[in-house]
Amino acid sequence: MLKNFKLQTAEHDVVKLNDEIVEFVKSSGVESGTCTIYTPHTTAGLTITSFWDPRGLEDLQDEIRRIVPTRIDFKHQHDTPQDAAGHIKSSLIGVSMSLIIENGELLLGHSQGIYFLEFDGPRNREFYVKVQSDK
Amino acid sequence: MGKHENAMKNQVYSLPSLIRQQYEDLEPKTRKLLTTPEIFSIQKIIITGCGDSFAAGLATKHIFELLTGIPTEVVTSIELSRLYATNQLGNSPNNPFIFAVSHSGTVARVGESVERANKYGAYTIGITANKQSYLGKSAKKTLDLEIPSFEPSPGVRSYLVSVLSLLLLAIRIGEVRGKYTMDVAMDYRRDILTQADLLEESLPLMDSKTLELALNWSEMEAFDFVGSGFDYAAAWYGHAKIFEAAGKYAMHVNTEEWLHLNFFMRNFSKIGTVMVANSSNPCLSRALETIGYSIELGRPTLVISDIKEDVFSEDCTVIATPISKYPISIPLTQFVPLALLSGYIAKIIGEEDGRGCKDNWSFAQNGNAVKNSEIIIK
């Protein structure tokens, strides 16, 4: 089963995706299998991190920006410096992840949130979730 | 061929396809012209040119400031080449950033202003169709225009391409400097492209109303063209076309000054008065007041606007221009009725463009008067 989800992001947004993905996995009826989450963008990423303190999400974007600051001397100049930095951040963080489904539910730790990381924004974005049964 | 057909009208009718064709050519060129470090180094912009090219600067000055946040001046080429303070040229590396516009590239004063600006450390970009011209060779970089040749007339197509080039550069600079997202920048660009369709739809009515007006106005002794902001650029363009095409007296003035000066002219019923007033203009309230006074005075009054006709008095003629999503696209179409008006008046009174550069005007043959001039770089 494959489903497409749409979202609108703000600049450097961090968007929690747990609810819709958990619901989709439950509705699939798959007891044991794999859930693949994928976003078809080059200036965004997908990650798992703790959801308990929202300020931690700001830390995450801050530290990613510290590692890859938006500079004006990127060789990629067809678009904008923010876009060039976003490509690198997206490559480093990745645009897909696989999670385990067991007993009809996603195997997520009690602190684990699935997050869409916006490295540009505001943008209209999308991601896909595919559920595959082991059987 | 109808008896009122003329080259300016033919150029006008070619504009929708020209917008589409030039957008395809200039969008990638304006994207690649400046490096990101160059764009981030800009502290001040100057646009210079002569004639229509100067008007293209007037049409886009406020748009550069709106989109990029960079202070922008429009400076005549003779001021930039002879008078502009040298300590304001090269006052910081690569500044000011100068866009010098000349389709032919052969206008002496434009090339001279670029040479002088280079001498004192400014950064110069030529916007020209002739890279081998004086401007093309003098400027540090050129935006290379390729406008398909067409039946000659006082500039219509070249003016549109000058405005389009500057608009695309403004959008690009604002985009790279992060003033708005790439999505918003693309929406601005799409709106520019949409003007081709909107103009195509508007042209038949715009044309018939302009012809009707031209038949009534062909014996006018003089013309006032009035506007503020980029409406003033359309007014400036309109007055230039009356000189070039029809050989009659014309004046451009801003909306406020018209009420300080021009309305005192005695022969009010023989002065065609053109008010350019777009809906987004912060000066619109003053423009509406001025239109009212013009009608009260008895001036034959034409209003060029994207506002519904019924907002205006029945005692003036209103010619509607396309309604754009963003105000920045308005300068691409609001000059069009003025080109039609000048072309029709010239045809009706039997005037030859530029007096044919014959007889008393023969010194101006082949652009001699503007191309051949002593160059002084001080």
Which pLDDT belongs to residue B231? 97
Q: Scanning every residue of chain A, which has its alpha carbon at the shortest distance from the alpha carbon of B32?
A: A78
Which pLDDT belongs to residue A127? 98
Mean pLDDT rounded to a whole number for chain B = 97
| B9-68 confidence digits (pLDDT tens) | 999 999 999 999 999 999 999 999 999 999 999 999 999 999 999 999 999 999 999 999
Give the residue from B40, B175, B182 with the most A CB atoms within 10 Å of its CB, the best one to mutate: B182
- Asked if the Cβ–Cβ distance from B176 to A73 is below 8 Å, we say no
| Cis peptide bond prior to B16, omega within 30° of 0 | no
Q: Scanning every residue of chain B, which has its alpha carbon at the shortest distance from the alpha carbon of A82?
A: B178
Band of the pLDDT at A135, cuts 50, 70, 90? confident
Give dist(CA B369, CA B106) in Å, integer.
11
Which pLDDT belongs to residue B91? 87
Q: Scanning every residue of chain B, which has its alpha carbon at the shortest distance from the alpha carbon of A80?
A: B176
| A74-97 confidence digits (pLDDT tens) | 999 999 999 999 999 999 999 999
Torsional sign, CA B277, B279, B284, B290: positive
14-33 in chain B: CB under 8 A from chain A: 31-32
| Cis peptide bond prior to A122, omega within 30° of 0 | yes
Tell me how far CA of residue B324 lies from CA of B238, B278, B378, in angstroms.
Answer: 21, 11, 44
> Chain centroid to CA B35: how far?
27
Chains A–B, number of C-beta pairs less than 8 Å apart: 31
CA distance A87 to chain B (A): 14
- Asked if the Cβ–Cβ distance from B36 to A73 is below 8 Å, we say yes
CATH class of the structural domain A2-133: mainly beta
Q: Which residues on A lie below 8 Å from B176 (Cβ)?
A: 80-81
- Asked if the Cβ–Cβ distance from B175 to A80 is below 8 Å, we say yes
Contact partners, residue A102, CB within 8 Å, separation at least 6: A31, A32
Contact partners, residue B131, CB within 8 Å, separation at least 6: B105, B137, B142, B144
**Is residue B137 within a helix (H) or strand (E), and if so which, with residue range?**
helix B134-138
* pLDDT digits (tens), chain B, 378 positions: 588 999 999 999 999 999 999 999 999 999 999 999 999 999 999 999 999 999 999 999 999 999 999 999 999 999 999 999 999 999 898 899 999 999 999 999 999 999 999 999 999 999 999 999 999 999 999 999 999 999 999 999 999 999 999 999 999 999 999 999 999 999 999 999 999 999 999 999 999 999 999 999 999 999 999 999 999 999 999 999 999 999 999 999 999 999 999 999 999 999 999 999 999 999 999 999 999 999 999 999 999 999 999 999 999 999 999 999 999 999 999 999 999 999 999 999 999 999 999 999 999 999 999 999 999 999
Question: Which among B32, B36, B181 has CB closest to A81?
Answer: B36
Question: Which among A72, A123, A124 has CB closest to B36?
Answer: A72
Give the residue from A77, A79, A87 with the most B CB atoms within 10 Å of its CB, the best one to mutate: A77
299-358 in chain B: CB under 8 A from chain A: none
Which pLDDT belongs to residue A86? 97
| A4-38 confidence digits (pLDDT tens) | 999 999 999 999 999 999 999 999 999 999 999 99
- Asked if the Cβ–Cβ distance from B37 to A72 is below 8 Å, we say yes
Which pLDDT belongs to residue B1? 57
| B289-316 confidence digits (pLDDT tens) | 999 999 999 999 999 999 999 999 999 9
Question: Which among B31, B176, B183 has CB closest to A81?
Answer: B176
With tokens 């070249």, the residue in question is: B158
Q: Which residues of A touch B (CB under 8 A)?
A: 11, 72-74, 77-83, 120-124
Mean pLDDT rounded to a whole number for chain A = 96
- Asked if the Cβ–Cβ distance from A77 to B35 is below 8 Å, we say yes
- Asked if the Cβ–Cβ distance from B35 to A79 is below 8 Å, we say no
Structure tokens that stand for B359 in this block:
């007889």
- Asked if the Cβ–Cβ distance from A81 to B32 is below 8 Å, we say no
ipTM for the assembly: 0.77
Domains of chain B: 7-194 (3.40.50.10490), 202-352 (3.40.50.10490)
With tokens 């400014």, the residue in question is: B122
The pairing of beta strand A124-133 with beta strand A2-8 = antiparallel
Please tell me if residue B35 touches chain A, with a CB cutoff of 8 Å.
Answer: yes
